[in-house]
């Protein structure tokens, strides 16, 4: 992996895993949630491959960076559409990721937090036969108790924030109060758009896959336009041996 720009006192050049850790480590927790999104897109702007999923536009280096993001987060926040499309399960980690978490003083596994209005989720998301992190489902106060029962029976915590939609400010505040302030949003586009609209997205990691797919694949946001344009400052750019580009941005604090 090659760092293409100067970041603080780090000069451009080759970066090993320790260097990557330094680049991707979250800021020190301050009691407030810090939300980072991580998406992969093709050169023609699709976040979906020919099969409608993201797995088919991944590259080997993206697998590594994706896993590194997960190793450093307290929470993996994801929309129910992505959970259903990608067959998400509670977070499982490889030994190297667990070593990083132990060295960084993090819980052994990140929490998987799923945002849903419908509660149409397979309770097997928290498979009791596999060692993994906890799962929490974040829904609205208008939910049907009958839909919650199978999830509770599977040992999944269900919490309600907001009425018509999940109130994401309340949700991230709730997580931060529980000491889980490093929140990694892995999608999908509806949740990503809502986080941006609510002014809650602090950092954006975009992976550029050296491929094109055509078709009608969606972008990393879907839904209504944002109330106002959101600007970001580039933090760093990485180029991998397999030609994948990793761009990391922080929400701009200067007036647009």
Q: Residues interacting with ligand NAP, by CB under 6 A?
A: 39-40, 47-48, 52-54, 79-82, 85-86, 115-118, 120, 165-166, 168, 186-191, 194, 222
For residue 82, the minimal CB distance to ligand NAP (Å) is 3
Choice between 62 and 74, CB closer to ligand NAP? 62
How far apart, in whole angstroms, are the C-alpha atoms of residue 188 and residue 92?
Answer: 20
DSSP letter at 44 equals T
Structure tokens at 13: 């050049």
How far apart, in whole angstroms, are the C-alpha atoms of residue 166 and residue 53?
Answer: 24
- Which position's Cβ is nearest ligand NAP? 81
Among residues 211, 186, 200, the alpha carbon closest in space to that of 65 is found at 186
For residue 81, the minimal CB distance to ligand NAP (Å) is 2
For residue 209, the minimal CB distance to ligand NAP (Å) is 9
For residue 220, the minimal CB distance to ligand NAP (Å) is 7
Choice between 79 and 110, CB closer to ligand NAP? 79
Choice between 71 and 78, CB closer to ligand NAP? 78
Choice between 7 and 91, CB closer to ligand NAP? 91
- Contact residues for 215 (Cβ-Cβ < 8 A; gap 6+): 46, 50
Choice between 7 and 166, CB closer to ligand NAP? 166
How far apart, in whole angstroms, are the C-alpha atoms of residue 186 and residue 110?
Answer: 13
For residue 6, the minimal CB distance to ligand NAP (Å) is 27
Choice between 54 and 211, CB closer to ligand NAP? 54
User: 32: buried, middle or exposed (CB in 10 Å: 19+, 13-18, 0-12)?
Assistant: exposed
Cβ-count burial 101-139 (b if 16+ within 10 Å, e if not)? beeeebeebbbbbbbbeebebebebbeeeeebbbbbbbb
For residue 105, the minimal CB distance to ligand NAP (Å) is 28
């Amino acid at each position: 992996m090659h760092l293409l720009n100067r970041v603080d006192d780090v000069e451009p050049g080759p970066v090993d895993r320790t260097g990557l850790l330094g680049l991707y480590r979250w800021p020190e927790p301050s009691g407030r949630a810090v939300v980072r999104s991580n998406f992969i897109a093709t050169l023609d702007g699709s976040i979906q491959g020919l099969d409608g999923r993201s797995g088919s536009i991944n590259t080997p280096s993206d697998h590594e960076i994706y896993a590194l993001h997960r190793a450093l987060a307290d929470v993996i926040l994801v929309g129910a559409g992505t959970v259903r499309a990608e067959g998400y399960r509670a977070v499982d980690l490889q030994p190297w990721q667990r070593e990083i978490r132990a060295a960084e003083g993090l819980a052994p596994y990140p929490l998987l937090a799923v945002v849903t209005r419908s509660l149409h989720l397979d309770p097997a998301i928290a498979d009791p036969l596999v060692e993994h992190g906890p799962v929490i489902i974040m829904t609205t106060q208008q939910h049907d108790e009958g839909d919650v029962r199978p999830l509770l029976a599977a040992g999944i915590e269900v919490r309600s924030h907001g009425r018509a939609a999940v109130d994401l400010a309340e949700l991230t505040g709730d997580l931060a109060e529980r000491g889980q302030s490093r929140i990694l949003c892995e999608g999908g586009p509806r949740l990503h758009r809502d986080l941006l609209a609510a002014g809650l997205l602090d950092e954006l990691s975009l992976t550029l896959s050296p491929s094109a797919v055509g078709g009608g694949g969606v972008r990393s946001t879907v839904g209504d336009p944002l109330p106002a344009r959101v600007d970001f400052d580039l933090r760093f750019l990485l180029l991998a041996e397999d030609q994948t580009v990793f761009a990391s941005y922080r929400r701009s604090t200067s007036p647009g």
